[in-house]
Amino acid sequence: MTEISAAMVKQLRERTGAGIMDCKEALGECGADLDKAIDFLRKKGLATAQKRAGRAMTEGVVESYIHMGGKIGVMVEVNCETDFVGKTDDFREFARNIAMHIAATSPAGIQPEDVPEDVLEREKEIYRAQALETGKPEAVVEKIIEGKIAKFLKEVCLMNQAYVKNPDMTIADYLNEVIAKTGENIVIKRFARFQLGE
């Protein structure tokens, strides 16, 4: 049996936009042949998820989730293309799961560009102080800060976060699975998270 490397999975993901687990399955089914795996995913409809990104989305749902006896609350708006999909169980379950995930992880934004500049600057200053204390030269300090900011954004941006119900996939992977399943473009538009005493 052919060994399936992380690099092969990454390459297949970049070419199709499919989730990690789907890419692993496709490579496994196709004897690690990249072209056959792409065809396999196309047949399943996952590769088309990215192509739907340009379509207008005026339907969807605002889902709420209350946790810990009313101590944490989340409202999230998830949009889709048609009212038909917006009323399906799969779509509503996705919106609810995203609200629950936000309650658990408290993301700073949906994408990296949504993270407020003052939050990034504060993190950079902390990382700079930590790196300078080690006595490293300024050029090395800048590289350390870059790396730590990239890691920070992965942890605080919703789309990059490991999904709490299945840490093997990111929220972006989960979204792509639902897009493939419903046949429509779906976007997590915005959210608000409230925590008692904050």
**Domain 52-110+157-195 belongs in CATH node 3.30.479.20:** yes
Question: Would you say residue 45 has pLDDT above 80?
Answer: no
Give span(s): CATH 3.30.479.20, the chain. 52-110+157-195
Closest by Cα among 19, 57, 63, 60 to 41: 19
Backbone angles phi, psi at 111, to 5 degrees: -115, 165
Residue-wise pLDDT for 105-114, tens only, equals 999 999 988 8
Q: Find out whether 145 and 128 touch, Cβ atoms under 8 Å.
A: yes
Neighbours of 178 (CB within 10 A): 22
Q: What is the pTM of this model?
A: 0.67
Q: What is the dotted CATH code of the domain comprising 116-156?
A: 1.10.286.20
Residue-wise pLDDT for 136-150, tens only, equals 888 888 888 889 998
The pLDDT assigned to 51 comes to 57
Q: What is the dotted CATH code of the domain comprising 6-47?
A: 1.10.8.10
